[in-house]
Structure 1
Amino acid sequence: MLLQGQVAAAQTRVNAIAVEGNQRIPDSTVISLTGIAPGEVVSDGQINDAIQAVMASGLFEMASARPTGSGLVINVVERPTINRINIEGNRRLDDERLLELVGSQPRRVYSPAQAETDAAAIVGAYEAAARLSATVQPRIIRRSDNRVDLVFEVTEGRVVENEAINFVGNRAFSDRRLRRVIDTKQAGILRSLIQRDTFVAERIAFDRQLLTDFYRSRGYVDFQVLDVTSELSRERDATFITFTVREGQRFAVGDVTVSSEFPDTDLDAYRRAVRLRSGETWNPTRIEEQIARLERLALQQGFDFLRAEPRVTRNPRDLTLDVEFALVRGPRVFVERIDIEGNQTTLDRVIRRQFDTVEGDPFNPREIRNGAERIRALGFFSSADVNTREGSAPDQVIVDVDVEEQPTGNLSLGGSYSTDSGFGVAVGFSERNFLGRGQSISVDIQTADENSRTELSFAEPAFLGRDLTFGISLSVVTTDFDSAAFQTRNTSLSPYLSFPMTENGRLRVYYELAEEEIFDVDPAASPIIANDEGKALKSALGYSYTLDLLRGGLNPNRGVRLTFAQEFAGLGGDIDYIKTTTRAVAERDVLNEEVTLRAIFEGGVIEALNDQTVRVGDRFFLGSRQLRGFASRGAGPRDTAAGISDVLGGNKYVSARFEADFPLGLPEEYGISGGVFADFASVWDLDDTTGAASQQVDDGFELRSSVGVSIFWTTPIGPLRLNFAKPIEKNPLDEENTFDITISTQF
């Protein structure tokens, strides 16, 4: 008998081949695997190769051959079939998730090699969950009829936490500041709840890019991450990660010039289009912005193939970079077509409109890259790859877009608490890609002790195929403040249009039809309030303009956001007024970006028209966010002669808040930081100052102020903010609130 691996001594004529030991697999299948035909004379080596081929099929545990007088007899032992597959010992990852990784299947032939591959896939899932010490052993349990149960025995091990994250080579920024840049976090006191402190190897590459972008946006053009090491502790339950970096020198912008190889180019127009200024911190993003600006101007002037090429000259002595934007002639290449694949729900036009380029346009690689970024920014796809290839001719390019969709609907249940409104519950549903059209719909229901809000909204971000957002919202807002002698209910319908005016500015125009109701007015309330009891219809047209340079301006460490809005009520209805509001926010990071300084200014004026008075529901009131240290609606003009001395609000208000946020020296992974603040605000001016007992209400300007400290804590259930404030300037009738706490979460 010739066993597997043995060699016979002579040649054999095979007149016939017999198969023994097989139960499920036909004789013909085994014979075909040998590659030997009846009547063939075979050598010992050929018989040995035949047996090896039978074993290589994976269908048999053992195979052997023995020559007989009339030919060859092949004995086989079939591999068992899998009866069922179980996973044991797993608690952190459920069976359903792990079984999706298993390639072995019931009623198929058991393969030890496939079982080992499956075990490795399960281990990979545990490694992604930061359990690097997890082990998986495949076992088989023999059953009758040549069947086996395949069992994967899992030892999960402990979570591998990032015990410490250190940096070597950094001088300009501290370790604490750089830990805020990267996505990987250290383990803290809430390590059992916070999952971002676990080690994920794939996250390291992302962290490297985050660090590179952070430094280069601050002028460190030579910055490099030289190495990243992660060492496991002896118990394999903790890692120590070290980033070795080379910062290099910090550069600023030197001379900025524009040149052109086109003789008829109006260089002055291109120079005016450049917003890069000498002396500002070097930032690659700013360079890209200027290139896009110049190339857009070229298209407007009819130069289809003009490209703006930045040519940088380094001045190591004064640490500046001169940049020359050279207007050069690009290759005459056109976009033949844009092919989109992978979208099952999202319509092609939703993806296609993210490109400023269409079929037949000159090919601009920068525009294609920008379009790819806009596709990813939609949030509709888990991945979006955009590549180009040569088309039907050398001067034609095909743009291939390959996307993989992800869920875009969200059902949320949340809770909140604040001293203004008490405990609250929020239920919401939103769909960001309604019917694959890129439209968004949402339903939000929020209830609290003193107010409730229900809102249904819809938005089309590409109305009429342009960068024009059309939306409409329907809302019902009810307030029931314990400190107020009345309740309000506002039911409104508001369609709007929103579109860009400049690169960073956006205009929103809206119409609002609302029913305002003031009810449950206390009999002892001021007549200034009682006169407004009942329902009134408001028909108003308004607009708001926002210029947002908060983090996208000339310097990444400073910025402003400005908002100016006006509302004109009186297009029919019962209410006539003009309301004007403005808000400005300015921020700056100082002390190596460890401390953030912030100033917030806001104010408003409302003026009644046609001999009307402003209703109490339309007046301005100061909340605790505008004036900390005071209760919400706790400061302002009052009717002191009334039995219930309600704050009446005012037709004018101003608020100025100055804040500084800074670390407290605690480990960054705890998520606890501190702040100090100083608030100044006032609300004043009433149309009707005749209060109870025909006494005149003092509605003059009176400044209130307060100072205090804040504690910020990023908890697993939501951001927590505690304010401890002390009023400085106040009216004896004002209601104080020296402690304020706000927390919200969503799950």
Structure 2
Amino acid sequence: MRAEGQAGGYGLWMMLLAVLLGAVWPGWAAGQVIQRIEVEGTRGIEEETIRSFIGSKVGQELSREQVSEDIQAIFASGFVTDVRVEEEEVPGGLALTYIIAEKPLIQEVSFTGNAQIKQDDLEKLVELKAHAIFDPGKVQEAKARIEEEYQKKGLFLTEVVPEVEEVEPGRVRVIFHLHEYKKPQVKKIEIFGNEKISERKLHQAMQGVKESGAFTRKPYNREEMFRSLYFLDYYYKDHGFLDLKVASPERLLTPDLRQVYIGVGLEEGIQYRVGTITVTGDLLDPEAESKKNFALQEGEIFRQSQLQMDIQYLTDRYGEEGYALVDIDYQLDRHPEDAIVNLNYMIHKGKKVYFERIEMTGNDKTHDKVIRRELTISETQLYSSKELRRSQARVQRLGFFNSVEFIPRPGSADDRVNVDVVIKERPSGAFSAGAGYSTTEDFFFTAQYSQQNFLGQGLSLSLQTQISQRTQNYYVRFDDRYFLDSNWRFAVNLFSTEQRYLDFTSARRGGSLTVGRPIPHTEYVRTSLTYSLVQSNLENYAKSSSIYRRQPANTLIGSLTTQLERNALDNYLDPTKGSLLSAGVEVAGYNVFGGEQDFIKTILEAQYYQPIPKTRGTYLSGRVLLGLLDYQGGEDLLITERFFLGGIHSLRGYEYGSVGPVFVEDSEFETPIGGNKELVFNLDYVIPISKEMGLKFVAFYDIGNAFNDNEEIDLSNLRQDWGAGIRWMSPMGPLRFELGFPLDRREGERSEVFNFAIGTNF
């Protein structure tokens, strides 16, 4: 006799039948002892695995309830499609044989027709493995997951057809046939139900899916569609529409399946204004004082962005006092009948928290001390969110790192917090060489070895050569901003330069020594003293020029420059935000500093960088430069120290040194002599091209001039230019390639000038 079962509803019926048979068949009578238990029909499954589901044991009396439970347990394992239990009388009792029919095993899982999703990615999605037990339900689940992934990529027309092929008895091959279709282009996005905000503004707010244009193809992407709906919802809430309802977008495909129309239905609801604002809980400041600093104010239209700003303000305010774990919740109480919403901030400040451990990660090259000396936080110090941000800004400002993150995490106790300083180093040292051609330099060759973070200790070392028809420059620079681990700066600069102007060559050879330090109790202000000893000479000029012939030859200049600088830029090498103010006075000679010439040169400079809101890294930058030279040398003008404008560091639409006063010779030939005063304004509009590569596009406008000894600075007599270019934050430092066009071109001046430079923006 036998009891048996089968998977599915039929299996349940068979298990019920087995119980009934046990109740009426004499062979299942109680009191008989089980003498032997056998398992038959296993191929891929270990016999012991099946036995583990059998509760009946040898030596026990036969129980029809237990045999029924055995059948149910074997089915529940998911390994079988059929179970039979047969009984045979043997001496002393009964022998039970559990005969099973295994589910087939998967021999192989394969895919056909997939071009948009890689095989490896599909295998991760389906979660079906070779040698696993075949389960039709899991095949359907895998199909759904594949369709979901194609939906995310905008390929919602893709068909997924699974096929199960028997390879041999007990083994199957699962094949997913994929019929991919190209992403349809978004032809039109229609918004319905908007009455108070124009569709044009809503389209601008929907960052994500965009309509295709005459020259642009915008493929449909489901994730981008949901992203657009998120921005649409945020835009409405940022304009007081707190009851907005947005329906799921509808899609309408064109008959050729190449384009899709998208419809978004919405119900705007009421536009709320702020009623009352209250602050409750653990207050650090009087409620009225806190409310004065809020962006949201009573009576104004409710804006989600201002709510977030106010929460951040409160978080920072409490963080400054050591409450790192402050919990700030809020409640909106809407009154649609009056179109107002009351806002209540609920604050639980928690315990004061102290810094426990500050650990650096990612600085494979840079020594910890280079980072730690920029920190204004320390271990055991009371937590301060303000000092945390300040420390992060100081480390980022070094210019050695692509990214800097300060990540707080729980410490060993609930009043302790650890900080991970996670940095990503940028290549700080490189050797590079190149050659090229420009309209100003003709053929040029440049080679440079630079280490902006030499030996990982924050030292700067640079050796540079630039040779062309107009220039022959050699530099060796060394700079240590924390000399001997102190706050003192020490720098050495050796150079030999020959710069070809329009009518002469300025040759300068010498060096300088700089010492400086921050001004105590200030954040960004430094002062420095630089002593320079330079041999200057005017060369390669036309002998017919009487003014050049009167200039001193091989004159020695010894000078001391006092510099006061406030540098609040976010990055020394590649700034995008902040300001720089600088004042320098160079005093030469006067029987104090050596040399053969006495003069005073003053340079005042201001730079400002302002990010453009709601853009991805675009910013404006501007510079104002004023130079004054006080030299009483009579006809000896000391031309090598005068101001000549033109070139990449002043007026980029004019040749190097071509803008400024001239001396009219007896032959009526105009000889450039430079000015003893200069004024320059620069304005740049910078758009990132690739953040990873450090590429940026720049459009610029310049205005300025140099003025003679007998002239005052005349704002109505300024030269102008405009242009565009590419900037690259390369491993050897910032590279600039810019093309300028004069706006008031005069006779003999070029219509465009190409500029190339290695170094910072101004």
Provide TM-score, normalisation by structure 2: 0.56
Q: 1: distance between equivalents of 2:485 and 2:151? A: 48
> Would you say the 8 A contact 1:630–1:727 is kept in 2?
no
Q: 1:96 to 1:174 in 2, by over 3 A?
A: same
Amino acid at match of 1:89: G
Tell me what 1:67 maps to: 86
Could you say what secondary structure the match of 2:5 adopts?
Answer: coil
Per mean C-alpha deviation after superposition, the further-off stretch among 238-247 and 21-30 is 238-247
Q: 2: distance between equivalents of 1:52 and 1:624? A: 85
> Would you say the 8 A contact 1:123–1:135 is kept in 2?
yes
Q: 1:329 to 1:162 in 2, by over 3 A?
A: closer
Indicate yes or no: 2:48 matched with 1:33.
Answer: no
Per-residue CA shift, 1:12-41, capped at 9, x if unaligned? 475433222323432111110344433556
Matches within 5 A, 1:17-166: 17-40=37-60, 47=67, 49-58=69-78, 60=79, 62-69=81-88, 70-77=95-102, 79-80=104-105, 82=107, 87-96=111-120, 103-105=127-129, 123=147, 125-136=149-160, 152-159=176-183, 163-164=187-188
Per-residue CA shift, 1:335-366, capped at 9, x if unaligned? 277689997889999899989696584x88x7
Per mean C-alpha deviation after superposition, the further-off stretch among 179-188 and 521-530 is 521-530
Tell me what 1:565 maps to: 582
Counterpart selection for 1:10 from 21, 38, 41:
21
Could you say what secondary structure the match of 2:53 adopts?
Answer: helix
Tell me what 1:682 maps to: 705
CA RMSD of aligned residues (A): 7.9
Tell me what 2:246 maps to: 227
Q: 1: distance between equivalents of 2:220 and 2:181? A: 18
Shift of 1:163: 4.8
Shift of 1:682: 1.4
In terms of Rg, which structure is larger? 2
Tell me what 1:693 maps to: none
Q: 2: distance between equivalents of 1:253 and 1:489? A: 70
Counterpart selection for 2:743 from 727, 737, 743:
727
Tell me what 1:605 maps to: 627
> Would you say the 8 A contact 2:376–2:388 is kept in 1?
no
> Would you say the 8 A contact 1:354–1:374 is kept in 2?
no
> Would you say the 8 A contact 1:635–1:735 is kept in 2?
no
Indicate yes or no: 2:599 matched with 1:581.
Answer: no
Amino acid at match of 1:233: L
Tell me what 2:717 maps to: 703
> Would you say the 8 A contact 2:644–2:660 is kept in 1?
no
Q: 1: distance between equivalents of 2:196 and 2:465? A: 48
Q: 2: distance between equivalents of 1:440 and 1:138? A: 63
Could you say what secondary structure the match of 1:28 adopts?
Answer: helix
> Would you say the 8 A contact 2:489–2:514 is kept in 1?
no
> Would you say the 8 A contact 1:430–1:440 is kept in 2?
no
> Would you say the 8 A contact 2:739–2:752 is kept in 1?
no
Q: 1:67 to 1:534 in 2, by over 3 A?
A: farther
Q: 1: distance between equivalents of 2:443 and 2:176? A: 47
Shift of 1:636: 2.9
> Would you say the 8 A contact 2:154–2:219 is kept in 1?
no
Tell me what 1:737 maps to: 752
Matches within 5 A, 1:128-527: 128-136=152-160, 152-159=176-183, 163-164=187-188, 169=194, 175=200, 179=204, 182=207, 185-188=210-213, 191=216, 199-200=223-224, 203-204=227-228, 207=231, 211=235, 215=238, 226-227=245-246, 229-234=248-253, 235=257, 238=260, 240=262, 242=264, 248=271, 333-335=351-353, 361=382, 397=415, 506-507=524-525
Q: 1: distance between equivalents of 2:480 and 2:140? A: 51
> Would you say the 8 A contact 2:250–2:262 is kept in 1?
yes
> Would you say the 8 A contact 2:506–2:537 is kept in 1?
yes
Q: 1:232 to 1:443 in 2, by over 3 A?
A: farther
Q: 2: distance between equivalents of 1:633 and 1:479? A: 13
Query: Gapped runs of 5+ residues in structure 1?
Result: 255-259, 550-559, 662-672, 690-697, 714-720, 743-747
> Would you say the 8 A contact 2:186–2:259 is kept in 1?
no
Q: 1:434 to 1:155 in 2, by over 3 A?
A: farther
Shift of 1:90: 3.5
Q: 1:401 to 1:304 in 2, by over 3 A?
A: closer
> Would you say the 8 A contact 2:362–2:424 is kept in 1?
no
Tell me what 2:566 maps to: 545
Query: Gapped runs of 5+ residues in structure 2?
Result: 23-27, 89-94, 571-576, 687-696, 727-736, 758-762
> Would you say the 8 A contact 1:427–1:446 is kept in 2?
yes
Shift of 1:71: 0.7
Per mean C-alpha deviation after superposition, the further-off stretch among 40-49 and 344-353 is 344-353
Q: 2: distance between equivalents of 1:471 and 1:109? A: 73
Q: 2: distance between equivalents of 1:96 and 1:444? A: 49
Q: 1:292 to 1:699 in 2, by over 3 A?
A: same
> Would you say the 8 A contact 1:409–1:430 is kept in 2?
no
Amino acid at match of 1:653: E
Relative contact order (alpha carbons < 8 A, sep ≥ 6): 1 or 2 greater? 1
Q: 1:159 to 1:657 in 2, by over 3 A?
A: same
Tell me what 1:621 maps to: 645
Shift of 1:131: 3.5
Q: 2: distance between equivalents of 1:119 and 1:401? A: 45
Per-residue CA shift, 1:398-450, capped at 9, x if unaligned? 658899x796657999x999988999999999999999x99899999999999
Q: 1:36 to 1:177 in 2, by over 3 A?
A: same
> Would you say the 8 A contact 2:106–2:129 is kept in 1?
no
Amino acid at match of 2:717: L
How many residue pairs get aligned? The number is 660
Shift of 1:567: 3.7
Shift of 1:65: 1.9
Amino acid at match of 1:91: A
Q: 2: distance between equivalents of 1:545 and 1:731? A: 39
Q: 1:130 to 1:360 in 2, by over 3 A?
A: same
Could you say what secondary structure the match of 1:203 adopts?
Answer: helix
Could you say what secondary structure the match of 2:249 adopts?
Answer: strand
Per mean C-alpha deviation after superposition, the further-off stretch among 578-587 and 418-427 is 418-427
Q: 2: distance between equivalents of 1:95 and 1:519? A: 71
Tell me what 2:690 maps to: none
Q: 1:10 to 1:588 in 2, by over 3 A?
A: closer
Q: 1: distance between equivalents of 2:311 and 2:37? A: 75
Q: 2: distance between equivalents of 1:181 and 1:197? A: 14
Shift of 1:605: 0.5
